Structures are given as C-alpha cells and as structure tokens.
Structure 1
Amino acid sequence: NSCSASGLSILGTSVTIRDLNVAIRRSLSNAFKTLDGFLLFAAKTKGKILLRDPMK
C-alpha cells in the first residue's frame, strides 16, 4: 500500500485511493445525471419535431 500512497504524497495532502475513487464516482454520477437530463430533453424535442413534421 505504501507504493500506491507514495505517488499521492507529491500533492502534500493525505488523499487516499479510496477518497479518489469516491470523488471520481461522485463526479461521474453527476455527469451522468446531467447527461440523462440532456438526452431526455433531446429525445422529447426530437419526438415533438418528428410528430410535428407530418402535419406540415
């Protein structure tokens, strides 16, 4: 474990691998939340456009 920790000691903080994993997972889930919202919005608008198209 001292081997993996030595690379992080450069930062001068007591950051552990677990802390990094938690932070990465947190930022990823936030990114996926916004991506989900964007995809839902895009699907809705695209669906409306596709539904509106034949009416022209």
Structure 2
Amino acid sequence: MAGNQKAKAKAEQAKGKAKETMGRAVGNERMEAEGRMEGARGDAREAKEKGKDAFKH
C-alpha cells in the first residue's frame, strides 16, 4: 500500500509541475496556481509517507 501512495505522490507532483508550466507558458494564472497546489499536495503526501517509513524501522 505504501508503494502505491508513493507513486501517487510522484504522479501528483509531476502533474502539478506540468500544469504550472503550461499555465505559465500560456499566461493563465489560475492554471499556474492550480499546478502549484497539486504539486504541494504531492509533496505533502510524499512527506507523510516518508514519516511513516521513518517510524517503521
């Protein structure tokens, strides 16, 4: 299960980065902000999983 969550975090980060870049390229501030938000959500999920891993061992 943890591997699935880590993959989900990486996917969210990549999707957010792509959306942010696309928003910046076309001048769409809302899309850029949504991309930053998705990336941050992925970062938070990854941090949560790393915290869980630290307490496992």
Percent of aligned pairs with the same residue?
A: 9
In the alignment, structure 1 segments of 5+ residues that lack a partner are 1-10, 46-56
Cα deviations by residue, 1:1-44 (Å, 9 ceiling, x for unpaired): xxxxxxxxxx6x32311011100001111111111000011022
Q: Equivalents in 1 of 2:27, 2:50: separation in Å?
A: 33
Give the aligned partner of residue 18 of structure 1. Answer: 30
Is 2:43 the partner of 1:34?
Answer: no
Q: Equivalents in 2 of 1:31, 1:15: separation in Å?
A: 25
TM-score (norm 2): 0.50
Aligned Cα RMSD in Å?
1.6
Higher share in helix: 2
In the TM superposition, structure 1's runs of 4+ consecutive aligned residues that sit over 3 Å from their partners are none
Compare CA radii of gyration and give the structure with the larger one: 1
